Amino acid sequence: MDKSQYFYRTVVFTRKAGIVALADINNPQESTKLEEWFGVVISLADGKHTLQELIDFMAKQYPQKPERLDDTLESVIERLLEGNMLKLSDTAVELPYYLAAPIEQLDIEKAQKLIKEDGYSVH
């Protein structure tokens, strides 16, 4: 895996009480909780950071870097890529409004309008 690539989410998400879940822009009360590692990666996938920066950031969350941290993150990234919840890019990516922040920080009507205008397929 090329760790110099930028990673970005392709899903609308929510973050409440430290729990990250997939959100439905057309029914904001509905959400699907993500496994903790998936939630961490999705919430950090802003398109402005590389995979190496993700690994470095996560390593700093521990007094001593866990032995298999790189392998765990690579596995999570691969599964999110397979599920089309995450994409990689050689350059930084500017996320559209409706993907840039947790759903509770969005103007829902504006997000719905922009999704429709963009022809974006909501996952």
Q: What is the pLDDT of residue 122?
A: 59
Query: For residue 17, is pLDDT > 90?
Result: no
What's the average model confidence in pLDDT over 82-88? 96
Q: CA angle, corner 8, sides to 97 and 1, nearest 5?
A: 170
Q: What is the pLDDT of residue 18?
A: 85
Q: What is the pLDDT of residues 27-70, one digit of tens each?
A: 988 899 999 999 999 999 999 999 999 999 999 999 998 899 99
H helix intervals, the chain: 36-44, 51-59, 69-82, 97-100, 108-118
Burial class (CB in 10 A: 0-12, 13-18, 19+), 3: middle
Share of the chain above pLDDT 70, in %: 98
Query: For residue 123, is pLDDT > 60?
Result: no
Calculate the average pLDDT of the chain: 94
The domain ranges of the chain are 6-118
